[in-house]
Structure 1
Amino acid sequence: MKEVITPTSKSYKEYLISSLQDVEEAAAYLETFLESNEEGREPEVLRSALKDIIDSRLAANNLSETAKQKYQQLEQMLSENSGNHLYTLIEFLDALGYRIKLEVKDS
């Protein structure tokens, strides 16, 4: 595990965007929002987390057109149903004894 250094001169948002450029950090960050229990779910927070990851990729000039298009589709879906479809899938998998785990793809 990496040693965490608290930002001092940068704003938290700048620090977050910078740290999310590491694909392992981004995967762990997003996974925490997908694992939240029903009481802790806030669809706007999940949308914000996804936006943070998109912003970090844009800052690194590392976002494909396909990813941009898929993000726009996902953003529209999440805005229309507050992520209920996504959370229903996660709850269904949980009931079957599974959980969502994000892994970085091999390049």
Structure 2
Amino acid sequence: MEDLKAPASNSYRESLIYSLKDLEDAGDYIGVMLELDEDGYNPNILRSALEKVVEARKQLGDYSLLAQQHHKKLDKILAQTGGEEILTLIEFLDALGYRIAIVAKH
């Protein structure tokens, strides 16, 4: 049996960032981070996911000043409130039988 080594976390991150350069993959990734699970909603996971998507967009050279301003504002809100507004919306929609979907604009 060959000795197999687990991929370095850096290569996983690079692979993830590479996949997030695709608008639809990035949308799916953000959508998964918004879904409720047994532990509920975690704003830190969402913040981390958004950072990765931003990094991918920067690498593409497709990160506008407007997007930068909105990200900065959203990140500040998530840091201050823990995303309580987002959580409330997600829980309300879940109770109604809906979920949020992130769809790329083409």
Q: TM-score range by the shorter chain?
A: 0.7 to 0.9
TM-score for the superposition, normalised by structure 1: 0.84
- How is 1:10-89 mapped onto 2 (pairs within 5 angstroms)? 11-37=11-37, 39-89=39-89
State the alpha-carbon separation in 2 of the partners of residues 30 and 50 from structure 1. 7
The equivalent residue for 1:102 is 102
Question: Which amino acid is 1:31 matched to?
Answer: G
SS for the counterpart of 2:63 is: coil
Q: Which runs of 4+ in 1 moved over 4 A?
A: none
Per-residue CA distance 1:19-69 (angstroms, 9 max, x = gap): 100011101111111113261432211110000000000011111111110
Task: State which structure, 1 or 2, has the greater radius of gyration over its C-alpha atoms.
Answer: 2
Q: Which consecutive residues of structure 2, in runs of 5 or more, have no partner in the other structure? A: 1-6
Q: What are structure 1's unaligned runs of at least 5 residues? A: 1-7
Letter in 2 for 1:30: I
State the alpha-carbon separation in 2 of the partners of residues 13 and 97 from structure 1.
34
| Cα RMSD after superposing both structures | 1.7
